[in-house]
A = this chain, B = another copy of it.
Amino acid sequence: MEVYQAIRSRRTVRDYKPDPIPQELIKKILQCARWSPSSSNTQKWSFIAIQNLDTLSELGNICKQGPFVGQAPFAVAVVMDDAPRPQLDAGRAIQSMELMAWSEGVGMCFVGVREQDQIVAVKALLNIPEKMDLITVLAFGYRADIPKPPGTPRVPFNEIVHWDRFGEMTQP
């Protein structure tokens, strides 16, 4: 799938078929994370590729705001260690993974693990060193047999794009 088409057509997917994702695609998704750029090329990231169904199910129990990860056939926990811009670097790698997956028909939903007790529980489950930063868990899977939704509404182009200076909403 073309880049533009992938970005334009992408939808967040939270309902998955149980079908496993081919190993070759899983490796491509992880390679796409690896090839993403990072601040000063620090690459202070680790990606935990989770296919164990018990682990996935337990993640679904822990992550109350993202129980769908318990139904996903695959998830990636994104972990940063002492990076200059951990959230920003992680965001770029996450976007590469999502677009790679989407271009081959696999959807993703981001589980924002932000409550302290959940972070502690996920780190214990996945054996993540205490000093490292758990950014998120990404659930991946083929969309269940439900129609593709219309997409969440976006703020109009002319309200978020400014020309040359903040506040100039008309293209020169």
- Chain B residues in 8 Å Cβ range of A110: 37, 39
Instruction: Choose among B3, B102, B112, B164 the residue that contacts A100 (Cβ–Cβ < 8 A).
Output: B3
Size of chain A's interface in residues, with CB distance under 8 A?
Answer: 72
Once the chains bind, are B87 and A161 in contact (CB under 8 Å)? no
- Chain B residues in 8 Å Cβ range of A39: 110, 112
Q: A91-B91, A162-B46 are in contact. Are A7 and B36 (CB under 8 A)?
A: yes
Q: A91-B87, A164-B52, A166-B79 are in contact. Are A7 and B99 (CB under 8 A)?
A: yes
Contact with B along A136-161 (1 / 0, CB 8 A): 10000000000000001111010011
Instruction: Choose among B6, B87, B163 the residue that contacts A3 (Cβ–Cβ < 8 A).
Output: B6
Extra contacts, 15 of them, besides A36-B95, A43-B160 (Cβ < 8 A), are A8-B31, A39-B112, A43-B154, A46-B166, A47-B162, A48-B162, A86-B87, A88-B94, A88-B135, A88-B136, A92-B94, A92-B95, A95-B96, A127-B165, A127-B166
* A–B Cβ pairs within 8 angstroms, 27 of them: A1-B2, A1-B3, A4-B32, A7-B96, A7-B100, A8-B32, A30-B161, A34-B157, A34-B160, A35-B154, A36-B95, A41-B153, A43-B154, A43-B160, A45-B160, A46-B160, A46-B161, A48-B162, A48-B164, A49-B161, A51-B164, A87-B87, A87-B91, A88-B135, A99-B99, A126-B166, A127-B166
